[in-house]
A and B are shown apart, each in its own frame.
Chain A
Amino acid sequence: MEAFGAEAAFMATAASKAFFVLMEPHRLMFLALGCMMGLILGIVPGIGGLTGTAMLLPFTFAMDPYSAFALLLGLGSTTSTGDPIPAILFGVPGGAASAATVLDGFPMAKRGEAGRALSAAYMSSLMGGIFGAALLAISIPILRPVMLYLGSPELLAFSILGISMVAVLSGSAPLRGVGAGCLGVMIAMIGSDPQTGTLRWTMDSLYLWDGLPLTPLLLGIFALPELCDLLIGRTTISKAIDKKNIYKGQWQGVKDCFDNWWLIVRCSWIGGGIGSIPGISASVIDWLAYGHALKTEKGARETFGKGDVRGVIASESSNNAKEGGALVPTIAFGVPGSATMAILLGAFLIHGLVPGPDMLHKNLDVTYTMVWSVALANILGAGLCYAFSPQFARLATLRYTLILPAVLGVVYIGAFEASRNWGDLIALLGFGIIGWLMKQHKWPRPPLVLGLVLGDSIERYMFISVERYGFSWMLRPVVAILLIMALIGLLRPLIYDIRRQGGVVRMASNFQAPVFHPSQIFTMGFIVLIGSLLVAALPWHFSAKLVPIVVGTIALTVAILSLFNEMCRKPAVAGAAGLSEKAQQEVGEAIHMDLTSDTGHLPLRVIATRALRFFAYLLAFMGTMAVIGLIPTAAVFVIVFMRLEGPERWTLVLTYAAVLVVGIYIAFDVFMSIPWPPSLLGQLFPALKVIPSV
């Protein structure tokens, strides 16, 4: 007891010393500077804190360690505060960890509640960030033993528990959800495999060697479908809102957070906990928290996905807590918990700090400055967001011809930033089409992301666990508990679903002779896709194909069952015209765990032609880019789009194009110095290369 008291006193001293050190005005200034940059980087879709941190690093060499960490952590902690802004306003996730925010935030904006959603997002970010930091602060003494206890089998079990959320996130379409989840796992398998070095599904391209990068995929699956529907609907995102409503909404958002403080605590601990596990990407944190909220919150099954503020709160409080969590393995073992942390590790070394036991004893005050930096950065970040929020909220009321060019341009470059390759743009377009079709046909998209992010770590840790421990890995106590939890999580929705439909017998009697409908073409396409992936996998080395074949077979089975279901299940109501209405019928009245298309009122023909038009714009964008380079293309695109779709006034169009192009030039050419792919024009007339990106 005495030892415990002494330990606590030592920690308290270090924590208070660290606080006063950080309160020095110049350190606060660096922290604020980092926050500003983090917010800006967070708002721009596709660009996280990684590039920013890498570029800031050399500037921190001359600082004292406290200021250096204040600057770097200020940046790292606030990117996810800025992330929800485009997610809520345009349905475009600003970063990988705020994709779940789109699900409820965007419908809120559509209802005219953008102000409330944004405010709830900031406030839950703030509270989540602080709870995450607090969790870190109090768990410091047990960090190393806990981390040493968590081996690959435990990480595997965590990943399996994570993927069992597919059951919850599939909503009323369990077969489709499992199918989408399996497809996600298979996409994660693309690239050189870690066991045998077999190149899986790389189609002989170097681009796919390391697997598909996440950003273009997420932007394709979540951002492009919303933008496409915006063009199809030809409206504004939200109805006009007056200034008074915005302030009222803001206040409501703050109140929502305090009403749901217990949810925030839980989600931030999920965020902090998962964030501290190296190797599990931060991009699933929001989904796990969202799934948790969906399972535990009262009435969530009826309202989530339709603009329930608790969905926004769950997602945003978890992703801001992750930075505090990611500090854990970095500080305690020098194993970076995230890519940003890998760069932070560089800062550690230059200031003569070696991660490990010393950071928890001798240099505990430095560790606590980091904790304080994360906490303060969250407060500052949210404060800055509040200051600009009314302006942001009104963006959602703009005409689609004003919103689409800028957002699409930035989505393009954001995707391109992932690996700076043509492949990124092709992936963006391809997954944009898949995402849009999934949305139209009511295939839930969240399971796909879950499979994609966790598939890789499940395969990796499964091979390590089995190779190292045989099958006894499952008997380790923590593993066993986690696996049982996963099993319950998987079975409960299934049992619930069977009961709801009146038991197995009634479900089985509810079938008729097969009826074909055009909407089934998507399911058929899915079956063909999985089938051809499976065939391509057959000649691989046994351990390279084991997981892909098992997962692929499951996907194939559920897809066939789903097709059978679509063809043979007796419809509840007869005679619906729109694609999405037909789909809604198929999944029954229960909640559909994804955004629903609000283009249902339009005839199928109009939807199809306008969607084609949207994707034709994208193709034209890429074609023009190949000829004249990306930055001039952005200008051409803005002009052509606004004149053809609007038409907007020439003066407005030209100013818009100029501002956008200069912004892109400064951000991407000057600041980030992206190596542009060579353009045809630049190759024919090398003198023109003075124009950026040609």
Chain B
Amino acid sequence: MSIGSCVRHLMLAGACVLWAAGPAAAQDSEAFYKGKSIQVIIGSSAGGGYDTYARLLGRYLGNHLPGNPTIVPQNMSGAGSNRAAGYIYSVAPKDGTAIGALFPGAVVQTLLGTPVQHDPSKFNYLGSANNDVYICFARADTGVKSLADAAEREVILAASSPGATTYDMPAVLNTVLGTKFKIVTGYPGSREITLAIERGEAQGACGIGWTGLVNFYPEWFAKGFINVIAQLSLTGHADLKKAGVPLASQLAKTDADKQVMELVFSQGIFGRPFVLPPGVPPERVTALRRAFLAALHDKSLLAEAEKMKLDVEPISGDEIQAVVTRLYATPGAVIERARQALTGKPQR
């Protein structure tokens, strides 16, 4: 038997199992979810982007689950959504009635930031509502058009704080590619950052999502106010690729450098991650993952998202689970280098 036919057999067997498990899982879930409610613990305060996504999903998820449970969104902000992550990990019921909506930073917290009590690699990932491509850009009047230019000249970047993409991503570029970004921290969020750039207090930023920027500041692009100098992503965005904006990781000189960048940039893949506690019965995880994708493909949800200018590009739970597993299997030396780039301090 050739390897190819073996794989085909296995796939067939897998399909059979899925086919058999599908209705059974649905029946179990239907009986379980009927008349129940699912709490969605949102790891940010009311009104922010993550909150908006979670509430949007909450309005549709119930319709796509067998038994049509009620979805109750609840805000639990704090510690960069590590509080909500800890709650989902150890306090929330493990029967599929609690979902966490977290910042991507909380998923890589243990790898790159201060260690926390819970282990993000053990969550059951439900999926992500979008996959953002983070970019680096500079005001056109600086004359900086590429990362190579930024290695020649100092560019003042506005950033939030260590742990946020606006700090972590340029910090890694400075270490790995030798760019001369001067990162000024202290701006509360991306809106304050863009305002600082508009008034000339800062000259650019690294680690801001492309879709949000282009939706909010169309005139910046129309008038050529800024130059997009790099994509901080593993795959890149179709529009930006067409415009010829390079991926920063392609400029890495060694494989190790590339891995460091990919480790930090990988947060973009799970832009809006939704998680379940460890220990939720597998058939319910399957049902929830299926409903998650179905809800995010729901026409009315998409119409609502379109109006709110929210970018919906669902990534399946299996995919994210695989990415997270791979991230947590990154060689220690690479993690160490990334940590040093971010904090200048070795792992405790």
Interface residues of A (CB under 8 A from B): 50-51, 53-54, 57-58, 61, 147-149, 151-152, 192-197, 199, 206-207, 209-210, 278-279, 329, 333-336, 339-340, 342-343, 345-346, 349-352, 354, 356-357, 419-421, 460-461, 463-464, 467-468, 673-675, 678
Contact = CB atoms under 8 A, between A and B. Distances in A.
B191 A194 contact: no
Given A279-B192, A675-B74, A58 B198 contact: no
A216 to B, nearest CB: 13
B242 interface: no
Given A54-B51, A206-B82, A210-B79, A336 B191 contact: yes
Contacts of B46: 50-51, 53-54, 339, 343
Given A50-B47, A54-B51, A349-B307, A207 B216 contact: no
A346 B308 contact: yes
Given A50-B46, A343-B46, A346-B52, A210 B77 contact: yes
Give the interface SS of chain B, mostly helix, strand, loop or mixed: mixed
Nearest to B304: A61
B191 A421 contact: no
Given A333-B191, A349-B308, A673-B73, 14 more contacts: A54-B55, A151-B201, A194-B185, A197-B113, A197-B161, A206-B79, A207-B78, A207-B83, A354-B218, A419-B77, A421-B78, A463-B184, A467-B184, A673-B72
Contacts of A57: 55
A335 B161 contact: no
A419 B78 contact: yes
B86 interface: yes
Interface of B: 39, 41, 45-48, 51-52, 55, 59, 72-80, 82-83, 86-87, 91, 113-114, 116, 156, 160-163, 182, 184-188, 191-192, 195-196, 198-199, 201-202, 216-219, 304, 307-309, 343
Given A61-B307, A199-B114, A194 B47 contact: no
A340 B55 CA distance: 17
B159 to A, nearest CB: 9
A333 B192 CA distance: 9
B82 A209 contact: yes
Given A61-B307, A196-B162, A209-B79, A343 B201 contact: no
15 contacts: A50-B47, A152-B186, A195-B185, A206-B82, A335-B192, A336-B191, A339-B46, A339-B47, A340-B47, A343-B47, A354-B218, A421-B76, A464-B185, A468-B184, A468-B201
B192 A334 contact: no
B80 to A, nearest CB: 7
A675 B39 contact: yes
B170 to A, nearest CB: 14
A197 B163 contact: yes
A463 B185 CA distance: 8
A209 B80 contact: yes
B195 A335 contact: yes
Nearest to A151: B201
A678 B90 CA distance: 11
Nearest to A342: B47
Contacts of A199: 114
B78 A209 contact: yes
Interface centre among B195, B304, B343 (most CB of A within 10 A): B195
B310 to A, nearest CB: 8
A206 B86 contact: yes
Contacts of B309: 349
Nearest to A207: B78
Contacts of B48: 342
Contacts of A345: 47
A334 B191 contact: yes
Contacts of B74: 420, 673-675
Contacts of B217: 356
Contacts of B191: 333-336
Given A468-B156, A678-B91, A195 B343 contact: no
Contacts of B202: 468
B47 to A, nearest CB: 4
Nearest to A343: B47
A58 B308 CA distance: 11
A673 B46 CA distance: 13
Given A148-B198, A334-B216, A420-B76, A194 B186 contact: yes
A102 to B, nearest CB: 26
B224 to A, nearest CB: 17
5 nearest CB pairs, A to B: A209-B79, A197-B162, A54-B46, A343-B47, A194-B161
Contacts of B52: 346
A51 B113 CA distance: 31
Contacts of B78: 206-207, 209-210, 419, 421
Contacts of B219: 356-357
Nearest to B193: A335
A349 B80 CA distance: 25
Contacts of B343: 196-197
A207 B82 CA distance: 10
Nearest to B86: A206
A614 B45 CA distance: 33
A529 B263 CA distance: 42
B38 to A, nearest CB: 12
B195 A333 contact: yes
B189 to A, nearest CB: 9
Contacts of A195: 161-162, 185-186
B196 A152 contact: yes
Nearest to A467: B184
Contact of A464 (B41, B116, B184): B184
A463 B160 CA distance: 12
Contacts of A463: 184-186
A278 B86 CA distance: 31
Given A334-B216, A346-B52, A460 B47 contact: no
Nearest to A279: B188
A154 B74 CA distance: 37
Contacts of B39: 673, 675
A51 B199 CA distance: 32
Nearest to B309: A349
A461 B192 CA distance: 12
A206 B117 CA distance: 10
Contacts of B199: 147-149, 151
A58 B87 CA distance: 27
Nearest to B82: A206
B185 A352 contact: no
Contacts of A336: 47, 191
A278 B218 CA distance: 23
A336 B195 CA distance: 11
Contact of B307 (A352, A357, A461): A352
Contacts of A193: 161
B161 to A, nearest CB: 4
Contact of A421 (B83, B162, B185, B216): B83
A463 B158 CA distance: 12
Interface centre among B75, B186, B192 (most CB of A within 10 A): B186
Contacts of A419: 76-78
Contacts of B304: 61, 350
Contacts of B73: 673
Contacts of A54: 46-47, 51, 55, 75
A382 to B, nearest CB: 27
A464 B47 contact: no
Contacts of B192: 278-279, 335
A434 to B, nearest CB: 23
Contacts of A342: 47-48
A391 to B, nearest CB: 32
B312 to A, nearest CB: 14
Contacts of A467: 182, 184
A475 B198 CA distance: 22
Nearest to A466: B184
Nearest to B191: A335
Contacts of A192: 79-80, 161, 163
Nearest to B201: A151
